[in-house]
Amino acid sequence: MKIFTPLPEEYVASALKRGNELLGIKSIPLEDYRIKTVPRGGYGYSPGDKYEYRDHAEFTFPPLFTDCNITNEVLKNHTLYPLTAALGRSRVNTNVTPTSWRIICPDCVVEDSETHGTAYIHRRHVQPSVRVCSIHGAFLLETCPTCMMPISKHEISSLGLCSKKYKNMKRAPNSQQHLYSKFISDLLHYSGKTIPRHVANWCVNAAISVRHGIYDVKEESLILIAKRELDLKIRSTHGSNISDDTFTILAFLGCVTGARYMELITKENSINLLSRELDALRHAFYIKN
């Protein structure tokens, strides 16, 4: 038996874990919540197949979700899927259900306990590079400040009790990290089709060039900008192996707000203007060199 009654914006694994806690089960197996991407036919280890072309990801779901016919509802409301779709992440390395997810905002714990009768893990906190809560600006915590237990071992249902003693929590309101959390939170509400990968890539790269005034953006510059603006270390920034997390950081470094990114992706005028700005930058670059 499994209990799955997710709260608004709750991460899928959190809802299942709370259900298990009600049944007296302490853990949650990966296969209960992991939503895997299906590789395209003809790629990887299946020689002889016809190459399959598609610019959206396809998924396989744990049996509970297929049996209850709630795969779409779970994908859209309780995973990182909308963010990945907005950013054109359609390849097999796309991860909509990260396995490190046990992280809390102390203010959310207090508020959720009052509003919903329980704390829970929000999906907008689950992306590994998110450090502060997009609503409260509080630093996210991996350890309960009251009982000092790692959140990975803490019962979610008893966080509310511990939160009565939370005090002097660190906050970084209106910081770049706070803006970054808002960027992610905004894109988690995207409800359209997967943006074609080449469109997302072009817009992000062009937006970074224009915002930072660098025509020929090299990996070293991106690493420096990510460190300076967000205090984040990023890994490889090009090729099809770039992770969802790194691409999300790059999208932020170019666009800063979810609204700006969506405008670039969807409005022809904005793309044309960006294109002209990029041309001007290219022109200046070649004159100088």
Interatomic CA distance for residues 252 and 27, integer angstroms: 35
Rounded to a whole number of angstroms, the minimum distance from the CB of residue 133 to Zn ion is 3
Closer CB to Zn ion, 133 or 274, in the complex = 133
CA-closest candidate to residue 121, choices 155, 145, 94, 147: 155
Nearest to 142 by CA among 171, 173, 106, 111: 106
Q: Which is nearer to Zn ion, 68 or 161 (CB)?
A: 161
In sequence order, what DSSP letters do the residues of 251-276 get, joined into one string? HHHHHSSHHHHHHHHH-HHHHHHHHH
Smallest separation, CB 135 to Zn ion (Å): 5
Specify the DSSP class assigned to residue 89: -
Q: Which residues bind Zn ion (CB under 5 A)?
A: 105, 107-108, 133, 135-136, 144, 146-147, 162
DSSP string across 152-214 = TTS-GGGHHHHHTT--S--B-TTSHHHHHHHHHHHHTT--SPPPPHHHHHHHHHHHHHHHHT-
Measured from the CB atom, the residue of 40 and 78 that comes closer to Zn ion is: 78
Residue nearer to Zn ion on the CB measure, 121 or 234: 121
161 versus 284: smaller Cβ distance to Zn ion = 161
Shortest gap between Cβ of 77 and Zn ion (angstroms)? 18
Quote the least distance from Cβ 149 to Zn ion, whole Å. 5
Q: How far apart are CA 99 and CA 120, in angstroms?
A: 16
Nearest to 257 by CA among 183, 175, 207, 148: 183
**Cβ-based nearer residue to Zn ion, 108 or 226:** 108
How many Cβ atoms from other residues are within 10 Å of residue 8's Cβ?
A: 11
Q: Between 96 and 121, whose beta carbon lies closer to Zn ion? A: 121
Q: What is the closest distance, in whole angstroms, from the C-beta atom of residue 125 to Zn ion in the complex?
A: 8
- Residue 276: name the closest of 268, 266, 288, 265 by CA: 268
- Kindly state the smallest distance separating residue 161's Cβ from Zn ion, in Å: 8
Give the shortest CB-144-to-Zn ion separation in angstroms: 3
Query: What is d(CA 210, CA 99) in angstroms, rounded to the nearest whole number?
Result: 35
